[in-house]
Structure 1
């Protein structure tokens, strides 16, 4: 089915016009396109279609194309479709995402019909932030993580992988990146990679994580006080500080990160506690979650740094701050 017909049928629209390509998907798997519509339900005038070709096998920009890579990308788009269908409706307003109007899936194609966040007041994008501009995103993450805090608990019957999400959230976790691990230079981080991975996996308090919470995946209001998130291809089980570490590393300059990361982490945990208590959890429960996740923050940072050192060791994200956090994590393992 063509995207135009998909939009027309889904919204009972009189006319559908392809307006602009917003973005081509990584490795050529498809595109994100804005469509102008008229005579549609709810008086919609603009919508977004994310169009994915599951049978595409394109060259990876950094040369990492393989059957495993292709399979990972295929699954990631199926995960995103299931996220919007089954999980996104559970979110509170504080963790704003695009409304999903329709999903079309076949063996070779996925079409997602989404709210145009630009027309809903989230038209600003950033690649770098000041420390204070990080606060609304940390609030979003706290709300998101608190909503799903019991999903991965041992006493919960609801398994995320049975509901269409990744059993392990994030695109860099060790099990899904054996080639990148193999490419790492020999050293302590490579030797301890499985220990770090297992420690994160066995944390008592699990939740859903966004899995790709870089600043580019957040849409900001004009004032910067409100945000909405996009791109849920790697959403699955994990611990909240995996998202927090990845987000902070994606948006702050080295000096700002060094000066403010401790305060930003405090802000995240304060908001997480507020959200947990507001949804009926006890202050004692919130305190236990914070204690565990705070103790794992440096390991979560080192886990992503491990991926970078295998995937692209000369990448801009291989920073002195990341090296410092990784050394702290390794030091904690030496004394444990």
Structure 2
């Protein structure tokens, strides 16, 4: 066993009743386990001196710093150096035994594979050829996980990433204003341009790739799922006559949309570029990306459609096209540096189909259990994006999808 302190925990492989941990409840057992790292390594002063700060003389983990999520637990490491100055570092801890339940062992395996992707990404991005995009990510001091052969037994795995603490000059938010959205578009353009014409054999990124969702029977049950959604939100059903047909139409077009996105997959995408996976600078002119678990080959507009839909404020949704134009202009600028030309009109015109592909995931999966009570609960939780915490987003997405499917 690689994490002996949690061998007594029994995992029930049933559907979770509560997807996100209650932020009001403190997990004492989790707090006591934070110093146990993968592969029988202990988080102590010797570890800190070796991997984080050679001048460290004392350290602590503030109880109030723990942030529990559905996919990981985060906490702060405070380090006192020999000049009596204190520096904070952020740790991302992924231990399946400590996380909310998932529906099946297969889903756990897929999750662990995504964590492995992030560990591998941080190992790769430090190579000299990627120097010009390191500014898009926090500095990572240490990342490690249990041996890869254990990935087939998810409950035996564990992972840790220690990075710089950005809290003094940056912050996280489930939504972004127009200035922040412009920064995100520029950041994504730089990332995509760097990896343009990526190895076509790379595995596709993004958690809503159709083949990854078929095992959940989301497309098979799309009409029933959508019908039940409309029962929970009758006011949505009254917005447009075509809204009642969304389940059937998205089911009929799911393969077409996925193939369109796949055909345009030419770069590395972040794959989960929502507000909680970004650090916004307090002055609004900069953004850093975290959580690379779903990175991989993809259509560049996947990140654009996803970030704008999940993270624009409610009153900013109608300016989505403006932000799309910012992205395209900056992508062209970055690619011109590499003497790569693109047809910007074709790229802009592909946005709606890429957006519908992500919307397919929303209406068949992410909204499967959404209701008005959960929207209110999600407003106080770390993790849920605006599509699960804002009625403005529910109405905007539903209207836009009905209109595009009907065209």
Query: Given the two structures, how large is their TM-score scaled by the length of structure 2?
Result: 0.68
Matched, 1:70 2:108: yes
Mapped contact 1:31–1:52 kept (Cα < 8 A): yes
Matches of 2:131 and 2:114 in 1, distance apart?
20
Matched, 1:151 2:198: yes
Deviates further, 323-332 or 136-145: 323-332
Cα drift, residue 117 of structure 1: 1.9
Q: Secondary structure at the match of 1:101?
A: strand
Q: Which structure 2 residues correspond to residues 212-227 of structure 1 after superposition, within 5 A?
A: 212-227=272-287
* Residue 208 of structure 2: aligned partner: 172
| Superposition CA RMSD, Å | 2.6
* Residue 219 of structure 2: aligned partner: 181
Matched, 1:59 2:95: no
Cα drift, residue 59 of structure 1: 2.1
1:167-186 alpha-carbon deviations (Å, 9 max, x no partner): 11111121111213333215
* Residue 396 of structure 2: aligned partner: 321
Mapped contact 1:102–1:114 kept (Cα < 8 A): yes
- Going from structure 1 to structure 2, the CA distance change for 1:298 and 1:22 (only over 3 Å counts) comes to farther
Matches of 1:129 and 1:103 in 2, distance apart?
29
Mapped contact 2:179–2:284 kept (Cα < 8 A): no
* Residue 86 of structure 1: aligned partner: 124
Cα drift, residue 51 of structure 1: 1.6
* Residue 297 of structure 2: aligned partner: 237
Matches of 2:112 and 2:144 in 1, distance apart?
15
Mapped contact 1:95–1:143 kept (Cα < 8 A): no
Mapped contact 2:94–2:158 kept (Cα < 8 A): yes
Cα drift, residue 10 of structure 1: 1.6
Matches of 1:88 and 1:175 in 2, distance apart?
31
1:285-305 alpha-carbon deviations (Å, 9 max, x no partner): 1x33x3443232111211121
Q: Secondary structure at the match of 2:206?
A: coil
Matches of 1:322 and 1:34 in 2, distance apart?
36
1:190 aligned residue (246, 251, 256)? 251
Mapped contact 1:305–1:322 kept (Cα < 8 A): yes
1:263 aligned residue (306, 322, 334)? 322
2:349 aligned residue (289, 295, 300)? 295
Q: Which structure 2 residues correspond to residues 109-148 of structure 1 after superposition, within 5 A?
A: 109-119=158-168, 121-122=169-170, 124-148=171-195
Aligned residues: 304
* Residue 276 of structure 1: aligned partner: 335
- Going from structure 1 to structure 2, the CA distance change for 1:91 and 1:8 (only over 3 Å counts) comes to same
Q: Secondary structure at the match of 2:172?
A: coil
Matched, 1:46 2:88: yes
Structure 2, gaps ≥5 residues long: 1-40, 151-156, 224-246, 376-386, 388-392
Matches of 2:134 and 2:58 in 1, distance apart?
33
User: Whose Rg is larger?
Assistant: 2
* Residue 360 of structure 2: aligned partner: 306
Deviates further, 323-332 or 180-189: 323-332
Mapped contact 1:299–1:326 kept (Cα < 8 A): no
Cα drift, residue 208 of structure 1: 0.8
Q: Secondary structure at the match of 2:74?
A: strand
Query: Given the two structures, how large is their TM-score scaled by the length of structure 1?
Result: 0.81
Matches of 1:142 and 1:91 in 2, distance apart?
16
Structure 1, gaps ≥5 residues long: 161-166
1:229-273 alpha-carbon deviations (Å, 9 max, x no partner): 111111111011111111111222444322x12211111111111
Deviates further, 74-83 or 131-140: 131-140
